[in-house]
Amino acid sequence: MPEPIPKVPIQITINGRNRAAEVEPRTLLVDFLRDELELTGTHIGCDTSFCGACTVLLRGDCVKSCTIFAVQADGGEIITVEGLEKDGKLHRVQQAFAEHHGLQCGYCTPGMMLSACQLLTKTPRPSEAEIRKAIAGNTCRCTGYQNIIKAISAAAAAGA
Amino acid sequence: MYPRPFRYHRAQSLQEASAMLADLGAEAKVLAGGQSLIPLMKLRFSSPAHLVDIGFIPSLSYSKRQNGAWRLGAMTRHAQVESSDIASTIPIVHDCAAGIADVQVRNLGTIGGSLAEADPTGDWAPVLLALGASVLVTSRSGERTLAIADFIRDAFTTSLAADELVKEIVVPLPSANSGGAYLAYKRCAPVYASAGVAAQVTMRDKSVCSQARIVLGAVGLTPIAVQQAEAILNGKEIREKEIEQAAEAAAAAADPQDDMRGTADYKRHLVRALTRQALQAALRRSRGERVELSHHYA
């Protein structure tokens, strides 16, 4: 029997709540979120760093949570799709996706919205080209991109 | 998909990381941003027994101008380079940083990690070779500086000793009246380029080229400096004919393979077209024109 691999203690603030855990080093952030914390709003699509369904915000920057170990996020702040709504009120990006039919099957939606959140924080009034570039790492297999772009434009206008 | 189990070691300094690598031996790998290593581990193409994480070492992320050169810390993320002063001063650096994969990958992936991986399709190596950059590497026994051409030895192979790590990338300030451009052809943002071309020119009296560098990426095991194209351009007034000849020389120097991204012939054709466009943009930039560039996406 090989020696067991020591677990690593981590502390991460997730959606404003401090979470401490001991994780196996190979635990991917997405699996920590979904399996340990039961935050299943973050999706696993391709699991190969292509599709962006697993996108979350780490210190305000969107990252693919299937391509980062939970230990690397130690000490960090994470926002998942569950953290967008505040006091029963949808985030303006969520509201805009609902109003502009920015989703069809909904699988890519959490990742799309979090990529939109980083964009709007750094570029409050993005051009269409900037929106397209910001979601280039998010794949919608319903190919509903036109309405996603409309929704992000509307969210930008709503925040201005 | 899970990687095979590994032991995790968090270094507090590059010196400590070097000592860890020496102690752990050949079964250890360095974890920087993880944007290439983690996919490789999940697919089990790579299964290191130990990872030495250098992501918690303070002050390895910076870009500063010092002693006639730009210095970039090894852990500077592509997104940080994209929005840094070096990128606004040297447009070819912006072309490269802003075109790597997608926002998510640029937020985590690092310039030092990208170079140390030496993936034949990596974006930084051809650009840094065109700029005449070098790599400062460090270990417990000291530091040394290597030119990019000496640093990258083969596909996925560098000159780094087992206990050495990249500390800093040093980019000399480009001469006056110089300009560069990097253009790649990609099927979509998250994937590797099918072909890429970095062009850097320095002009004399506004019209005569005193030095040209054309470097190809993704069409050989290592970046290919097209010396024949440089010989065609050096000392000449660059017109359509010279651009065409340089593009032909680049296509001839490319050493692509047939793969899922296309046939070798197709990639040679891409190299020809990209060389033409990169060279034209580099020339315009050498005259002080502002040229916005984006890679081509299928």
Burial per residue of B106-122, b for 16 or more beta-carbon CB atoms within 10 angstroms, e otherwise: bbbbbbbbbbbbbbbbb
pLDDT in tens, A82-129: 999 999 999 999 999 999 999 999 999 999 999 999 999 999 999 999
Residue B110: what are its φ and ψ, rounded to 5°?
-120, 155
A125 interface with B at CB cutoff 8 Å: no
pLDDT of residue B168: 98
pLDDT at B177: 95
Among residues B135, B134, B123, the alpha carbon closest in space to that of B82 is found at: B123
Q: Which residue has the tokens 């400096």?
A: B225
CB of B3 within 8 Å of a chain A CB? The answer is yes
Question: Average pLDDT over chain A, rounded to whole?
Answer: 96
CA distance B298 to chain A (A): 13
The two three-digit tokens of residue A60, written as one number: 């305000």
Shortest CA gap B188–chain A (Å): 8
* Tokens describing residue B192: 């590797």
Q: Suggest the residue from A5, A64, A78 to mutate for an interface test with chain B (most B CBs closer than 10 A).
A: A64
A108 touching B (Cβ < 8 Å) = no
User: CB under 8 Å to A77, separation ≥6 — which residues?
Assistant: A12, A13, A14, A58, A59, A60
Chain A partners of B5 at a C-beta cutoff of 8 Å? 5, 24-26
Q: Report DSSP state, residue A7.
A: P
Give the separation between CA A17 and CA A37, rounded to whole angstroms.
11
The 10s digit of each residue's pLDDT in A14-35 is 999 999 999 999 999 999 999 9
| Distance from chain centroid for Cα B114 | 7
- In this complex, is the C-beta atom of B133 within 8 Å of any C-beta atom belonging to chain A? no
Helix, strand or coil, per DSSP, at residue B272: helix
- B8 → closest Cβ in A25, A62, A134: A25
Q: Which residues of B touch A51 (CB under 8 A)?
A: 190
Residue A160 has pLDDT above 80, yes or no: no
Residues 74-93 of B with CB under 8 A from A: 79
Measured between CB atoms, does A77 come within 8 Å of chain B? no
Give yes or no for A137 touching B (CB within 8 A). yes
The alpha carbon dihedral of B107, B112, B115, B117 has a sign of negative
CB B105 to CB A72 under 8 A? no
B1 touches chain A (CB under 8 A): yes
Find the CB nearest A63 among B53, B107, B191.
B107
Domains annotated on chain A, with CATH: 8-83 (3.10.20.30), 92-159 (1.10.150.120)
Q: For residue A12, what are the β-bridge partners?
A: A19
Answer whether residue A1 shows pLDDT above 70.
no
Chain-centroid distance of CA B127 in Å reads 5
Using a CB–CB cutoff of 8 Å, tell me whether B5 touches chain A.
yes
Give tens-digit pLDDT for B105-124. Answer: 999 999 999 999 999 999 99
Of A26, A67, A133, the CB nearest to B6: A26
Does the pLDDT of residue A131 top 70, yes or no?
A: yes
Q: What is the reported pTM? A: 0.97
CA distance A57 to A84: 11
Which residue in chain A is spatially nearest to B48 when comparing CA positions? A26
- pLDDT tens per residue across all 298 residues of chain B: 899 999 999 999 999 999 999 999 999 999 999 999 999 999 999 999 999 999 999 999 999 999 999 999 999 999 999 999 999 999 999 999 999 999 999 999 999 999 999 999 999 999 999 999 999 999 999 999 999 999 999 999 999 999 999 999 999 999 999 999 999 999 999 999 999 999 999 999 878 999 999 999 999 999 999 999 999 999 999 999 999 999 999 999 999 999 999 999 999 999 999 999 999 999 999 999 999 999 999 8
pLDDT of residue A44: 98
| Chain A partners within 8 Å of B104 (Cβ) | 52, 55, 62-64, 67, 115, 137
Decide if B30 touches A, using CB distance below 8 A: no
User: Does ipTM exceed 0.95?
Assistant: yes
| Biggest CA-to-CA distance, chain B | 61
- From chain B, the residues in CB contact with A61 under 8 A are 79, 107
Q: Which of B102, B119, B192, B292 to mutate to test the interface with A (most CBs of A within 10 A)?
A: B102
| Token pair listed for B177 | 């009246």
Nearest by CB: A137 against B6, B56, B190: B190
Helices A145-159 and A109-122: crossing angle in degrees, nearest 10, is: 40
Closest residue of A to B55, CA-based?
Answer: A72
Q: Which domains does chain B have, with CATH numbers?
A: 7-53 (3.30.43.10), 63-172 (3.30.465.10), 178-287 (3.30.390.50)
